Structure 1
Amino acid sequence: MEIREMRAFVAVAEAGVLSRAARQLHVSQPALSQTITALERRLGVQLLVRTSTGVQVTDAGATLLGEARAVLARHDQAVAAMARHTTAGGGVLRVGIPLELPPELLPSALARLAGDCPDTRVQARHLSSVAQVAALRADELDVGLVRERPAGPDLDALLVVSENVGVLLAADLAEKLEGPAGVRLESLAGLDWFAFARAGSPAWYDELAATLRSHGLDVGPEVPEDQRLIVELKIPAVSSGAAYAFAPPEWPYPMPDTVRWLPLAGNPIVRRTWAVWPATSHRRDLAKFVAALEDHRRGESRA
């Protein structure tokens, strides 16, 4: 069995409901169900009984639950023990990354890190803000770049990016709506918002939705939580002229002539990104990485 499979089984057994366990693990419910079914098939025993109200652990499942909890606890203890050996740098720095970061942010920070801690190897994972915070607390990440600052004393945070978000529109529609200072947010009424799933970043979604509603815009139905945002789909979504999407000024994706990016008049939407890491960490390479991110922000502010 893999650690991933044991975590999945324990989550389902403890939650008692597949959908709740899927949310905790930040995976889709069908994918989680397939993982459990494959595990049962490999072991040759039934671990869970599916009912109309949830799942129940079988006798075999109860045996595995106790063993899996012990294995996971020992695994996490071993990972934490090894992390102490990388305090001065020279280990693996696991970094969580959201979509649409400013193009120069990571390259400049990683270049600084390579110079200051040449023995540190970086592993990057694209994850939502919620998934990053969960991974940090599960000791599966060393530092995350998230769109909402987490609460609690167990994580430290530093604001590293503030962006005045603009709007992507079909070129002919952009020509009609563009004013001297950009596009007025309320002029987007009647268009569909190409949104992201609230489950990935609830606080940022709620802030953005509240701003839209305050300008008379309908935010539309929520995107299903298991539907991953694919930023490349923003272009075809807005090309027809029936939808709009938000994007930062330096959107790092190719844009055809049929689509334009315009600023929003008055800059009503500001997207912030925080670096977040465990408060108990004393890793030198992590500190250097965060300091490089902060220096980049200060340099952008002076510019």
Structure 2
Amino acid sequence: MELRELQAFVAIVEEGGMSAAARRLHITQPALSQTVSALERRLGVKLLIRDNSGASPTDAGTTLLAEARALLARHDQAVRALNAFRSDDSGFMRLGVPLELPHNVLTTPLKWLAAAHPETRVQVRHLCTGGQLTALYSGALDVSLLRERPSGSEFDAMLVIKENLGVLLSAQKALELSESNGIRLENLSGLEWVGFARCRSPLWYDELTSVLRNHGLDIGPPAPDGQPLIAEVKVAAVASGKSFALAPANWSHRLPESVVWCPLVGQPLVRRTWLAWPANSRRRDVAGFIARFPVDGHNAD
């Protein structure tokens, strides 16, 4: 059996279906189905019962689930333990970053790294928080910028960015709703929130939607898939006048004349970004890179 086959099987059982598991693993559903089918052929037993409601393990699948979880946990533990002995001559640093990261956040740390450790090459991976956490736990990332702080003692983390979010609206809708100091969140009632899928950052999604609901907004069900909410999608949806999206004041995407950004009265929404890394890391280049970030974050209004 291969690790990827076990990871696929565990994801399907834990997510209760193929589509959710495919989003979690960042692969297509047909590829996931083929992987599990190959595992069943290899073992000569049926592992899953699939129906319209999802997928559940057979008796053989339940037995494999316990063994697979133990094997994957042991693999991840071994990778993390060996990563602690990597030195500066490893040649590269794997950095995870989310969408909509402020453009100047990495400038000082990367300049320092280039000067102090010119032999270290930075490999940037654009991943959602959920994908980054999976990569951190498996040892596939050395440093991550996350929308939520990782739990457990395996990682150290510090808050490096705090952004007060405002709202993107069509120019006409902003004119209707604006007050002297911005727009009240509750006044967005009746508009559709252009939101991201919960699986991309569960804790941040829950925090954000809790605030929206407390201000009387009906946000509807979570986005149906794990596709990234790119800037072009936000702008196109907002331009119709029937939707709103959230963004910081220094959002890097250029807005057309039909869409405007407005502050929210009272600044009720704050997006935080955490820097996280393995607690047992001994790399001097990683430590110096981390030290060049601001501690406890800074407001980016």
TM-score over 0.5 for the pair: yes
How is 1:1-303 mapped onto 2 (pairs within 5 angstroms)?
Answer: 5-6=4-5, 8-9=7-8, 11=10, 18-19=17-18, 21-22=21-22, 25=25, 27=27, 29-37=29-37, 39=38, 48=46, 50-51=48-49, 52=51, 54-55=56-57, 77=78, 81=82, 84-86=85-87, 88=88, 91-294=91-294, 297=297
- Give the direction of change, closer, same or farther, for the CA distance of 1:238–1:16 in structure 2 (3 Å limit): closer
Percent identical residues: 42
- Give the direction of change, closer, same or farther, for the CA distance of 1:289–1:7 in structure 2 (3 Å limit): farther
TM-score (norm 2): 0.82
Shift of 1:34: 3.8
Which digits, 9 at most, give the CA deviation of each residue in 1:44-71, with x for residues without a partner?
A: 896755424535598xxx8xxx99x989
In 2, the alpha carbon distance for the partners of 1:14 and 1:222 equals 21
Amino acid across the alignment from 1:270: V
Q: Which runs of 5+ in 2 are unaligned?
A: none
Q: Which runs of 5+ in 1 are unaligned?
A: none
In 1, the alpha carbon distance for the partners of 2:32 and 2:167 equals 36
Q: How many residues align?
A: 294
**Other structure's SS at 2:174 match:** helix
- Give the direction of change, closer, same or farther, for the CA distance of 1:71–1:55 in structure 2 (3 Å limit): closer
Shift of 1:136: 0.7
In 1, the alpha carbon distance for the partners of 2:144 and 2:192 equals 31
Shift of 1:143: 1.1
Shift of 1:113: 1.5
Deviates more, 1:266-275 or 1:13-22: 13-22
**Other structure's SS at 2:93 match:** strand
**Other structure's SS at 2:130 match:** helix
In 2, the alpha carbon distance for the partners of 1:222 and 1:16 equals 15
- Give the direction of change, closer, same or farther, for the CA distance of 1:50–1:82 in structure 2 (3 Å limit): closer
In 2, the alpha carbon distance for the partners of 1:78 and 1:203 equals 26
Shift of 1:289: 1.6
In 2, the alpha carbon distance for the partners of 1:108 and 1:256 equals 31
In 1, the alpha carbon distance for the partners of 2:73 and 2:151 equals 26
Shift of 1:35: 3.8
**Other structure's SS at 1:257 match:** coil
- Give the direction of change, closer, same or farther, for the CA distance of 1:148–1:297 in structure 2 (3 Å limit): closer
* Conserved? CA contact 2:86–2:282, under 8 Å: no
Amino acid across the alignment from 1:241: G
Which digits, 9 at most, give the CA deviation of each residue in 1:216-260, with x for residues without a partner?
A: 111111112434323320010000000000011111212111111
Amino acid across the alignment from 2:260: R
In 2, the alpha carbon distance for the partners of 1:198 and 1:205 equals 6
In 1, the alpha carbon distance for the partners of 2:75 and 2:190 equals 55
* Conserved? CA contact 1:96–1:141, under 8 Å: yes
Shift of 1:163: 0.4
Shift of 1:36: 3.8
**Other structure's SS at 1:118 match:** coil
In 1, the alpha carbon distance for the partners of 2:11 and 2:75 equals 20
Amino acid across the alignment from 1:204: W
In 1, the alpha carbon distance for the partners of 2:105 and 2:34 equals 38
In 2, the alpha carbon distance for the partners of 1:16 and 1:200 equals 14
